[in-house]
Structure 1
Amino acid sequence: MTVGIAAQDEPALAMTRGGTFGLYIHVPFCATRCGYCDFNTYTPGELGGANPEGWLAAVRQELALAAARLPDPRVDTVFVGGGTPSLLGASGLAAVLDAVRTEFELAPDAEVTTESNPESTSPEFFAAIRAAGYTRVSLGMQSAAAHVLRLLDRTHSPGRAVAAAGEAQAAGFEHVNLDLIYGTPGESDDDLRRSVDAVLDAGVDHLSAYALVVEDGTALARRVRRGEMPAVDDDVVASRYELLDGLVRDAGFEWYEVSNWSRPGGECRHNLGYWGGGQWWGAGPGAHGYVGATRWWNVKHPNAYAEQLAQGRLPITGFETLDTGDRHVETVLLGIRLRVGLPVDELTPDEQARAEGVIAEGLLVRVGERLVLTDRGRLLADGVVRSLLE
């Protein structure tokens, strides 16, 4: 069955230079499915056995087609995400980066990141991917509390993520991120304190922390619906965010995006590209891309994805062209989340007038010619955007 769009209907990609250009490569494989996850991922049982070799061959084809369609195939950042990229092993991740280098010119100071699950890494793994050219590792830690990991269906032990971070640093990685999830029912303040202490003790230079969101269609949502566990409490989530923020800032981290903190120089440049209006090509099943004023998304299922590429066609299943209004909304929506804030002159006169009201509420502050969220404003960032844009 043909799933993608016809070749003659491919979007015209009017690439512009001036900001960053990144590659996102989606690895759709996971050993097991976590109860909270709604990402485009597949276990071996769901695919009739994982096929990393077929996936890599298809990604190579997509990268070749992408480079042929871009007037300047030069890349500032690469991010291999998933799924569980570390299931490819060091040789598989090295092959991914070789495929990128074959079709694209990597900037001399390119940031090259891979996500990894702690349980599928080792000292040898980190040494090999560092030698292959990766410069940054992001590890899914979630929590240092065993009961929280069990509720989230995570399979690693509480201490494995910290140990993996140490192994990555010993292999020469200067930039290591740990991911936390907070607000899980049953998590206590002390649980979160222990998790943050573990991150700080690991000596990493970056922390991402996200409130648990119960997504429709997930195992976690079904448990909440059946009454097996309570729903996430928004007040508790806000309190935990404030607790986490205070702990890491006291330790020398600073927020640079609502859900991300780093030591100086540890910011994730690839993600800053997303938030700052940069462009990127998303390769892999279900990946999204954005070039010029066009956003598109790939066929989700790995088999359908490979089928499209075997026919010499981009695996795009839909796209949209953003008009001036759409791009303005995205500029406000994303820019307001950054610590550097949003330039006042990005707002229309009406929006600037509404901003004065948000400032009076204590949710924004003017810093020079930019608008920056206050600590309280970070808790209500989406509401601030709605207030500005109405």
Structure 2
Amino acid sequence: MSFSLYVHIPWCQSKCPYCDFNSHAASSWPEAQYTRALISELEYRADTTPSYSGQRIRTIFFGGGTPSLFDPKSIGEIIDAANRVCGIEHDAEITLEANPGTVDLAKLGGMRAAGVNRISFGAQSFNDATLKFLGRIHSAGETRAAARMAHRAGFDRLNLDLIFAVPGQTVAEVLFDIESAAALEPDHISAYNLTFEEGTAFFTDLKRGRIKQLATDEQAAMYQTVREEIPRRGYAMYEISNYAAPGHEARHNLTYWRAQTYLGIGAGAHSYAGDGRGGQPKRWWNEKLPAGYISAIEERKSAETGAEAIDEATAQSEFVFLNLRLREGFAPADFHERFGRDFECIFGIVATRLFNDGLLTLDRGRIKLTDRGLEMADSVFAEFV
């Protein structure tokens, strides 16, 4: 058995108005102290938590915030510690999120030398007016330059994030973003429908009437364009918002969608132990404020501020709706293997209704969303909760 490791770097140069992640705008940050805290937390979990003790790491993901603000030396120290403490599988996927405006060839080369083998750029759009509206600090030109530098630095694996359904955006502009992203030859593209999450600046602006969401039919048209046009350029849709060249799916994110075990370290990071090695499945989360996180780790090795045991019914629900995010869906046999119960016995009535409504289909022994189901995915998922 193995697990995935998520490493949270919480600082950004500025906070994007749509972002509801645990990120903090700052002009400086205690990088060395925070790096030591991350390593200390990893050592503690590997020593005390059965789901990680003696298990190797199959993927690592540096998320944020803006992890590319850190020096490659710090990233390398964390990777080296992970290998020393747990052991990293020889073919592990090691991803680092980066803002295109925070990298140069030397930094990218340093990240590659440190062990990172996959870069994920928050491109978001190739329209500078859209980028300005989204509060991004980079330009479309910087994204193009960063992608070219990533290839030069030896990154065969490159993801570009896009955001669509931005107020004022048109279908033609979405298509331009897709064409621009594909032209940079990434092996993976993520395309997300803009959401207005409570607690963000955009949510406040929306409630006060300063901005207006696109109409539902406009958003649906854009999602259809995304679903059709990205695969047309060689990137198969394998998850609701993710597209990849054959064999280049994001292995780390597949851990989440398949409800597999992962460890999150860093301020505000979440962890999930669902493999049964530690008994009942559970999740827990860390102190959000970076200073509080560092203090907690230095004082007691753990920054955990909350946890919940996951009962069987919740675990079954999560397994279904997370796996349904994947285009391949899941086989009822997968459900039986995990829970020792037949899918039909637990969810037969709900599933039958969704099949009859044309939202689910059974294809080569696997239950998956139809195209109509994709457009109504949240409603489908809610049926299993």
* Superposed pair shares fold, TM > 0.5: yes
Q: Count how many residue pairs are aligned between Structure 1 and Structure 2.
A: 368
Q: 1:316 to 1:350 in 2, by over 3 A?
A: closer
Aligned residue for 2:145? Answer: 163
The letter for the 2-side match of 1:356 is T
Distance in 1, matches of 2:21 and 2:147, equals: 24
Q: Does 1:62 align with 2:44?
A: no
Distance in 2, matches of 1:352 and 1:200, equals: 41
- Alignment RMSD: 1.5
Aligned residue for 2:369? Answer: 373
Distance in 2, matches of 1:232 and 1:285, equals: 34
How do residues 96-111 of structure 1 correspond to structure 2 at under 5 angstroms?
Answer: 96-111=78-93
Distance in 2, matches of 1:227 and 1:294, equals: 40
Kept in 1, the 8 Å contact 2:40–2:301? The answer is no
How do residues 311-390 of structure 1 correspond to structure 2 at under 5 angstroms?
Answer: 311-345=299-333, 346=335, 347-349=343-345, 351-387=347-383, 389=384
Kept in 1, the 8 Å contact 2:237–2:327? The answer is yes
Distance in 2, matches of 1:44 and 1:353, equals: 51
Aligned residue for 1:300? Answer: 288
Q: Does 1:249 align with 2:239?
A: no
Kept in 2, the 8 Å contact 1:43–1:50? The answer is no
SS at match of 1:108: strand
Give CA deviations for 1:78-117 in whole Å, capped at 9, x if unaligned: 0000000000032222222223223220011111110000
Give CA deviations for 1:284-338 in whole Å, capped at 9, x if unaligned: 0000001141100001111111111111331100111111111101101101111
What's the offset of the Cα at 1:72?
1.6
Distance in 2, matches of 1:202 and 1:306, equals: 39
The letter for the 2-side match of 1:239 is A
Q: 1:122 to 1:329 in 2, by over 3 A?
A: same
The letter for the 2-side match of 1:224 is L
Distance in 2, matches of 1:59 and 1:332, equals: 32
Aligned residue for 1:3? Answer: none
Give CA deviations for 1:192-232 in whole Å, capped at 9, x if unaligned: 11100011100111011111111122111222222221134
Distance in 2, matches of 1:353 and 1:322, equals: 23
Give CA deviations for 1:329-386 in whole Å, capped at 9, x if unaligned: 1101101111111223532336234323322322222112211111221111121223
Unpaired stretches in structure 1, ≥5 consecutive residues: 1-16
SS at match of 1:62: helix
Aligned residue for 1:233? Answer: 215
Distance in 1, matches of 2:199 and 2:284, equals: 24
Aligned residue for 2:29? Answer: 50
The letter for the 1-side match of 2:313 is G
Distance in 2, matches of 1:115 and 1:158, equals: 17
Aligned residue for 1:192? Answer: 174
Identity over aligned pairs, percent: 36
SS at match of 1:342: coil
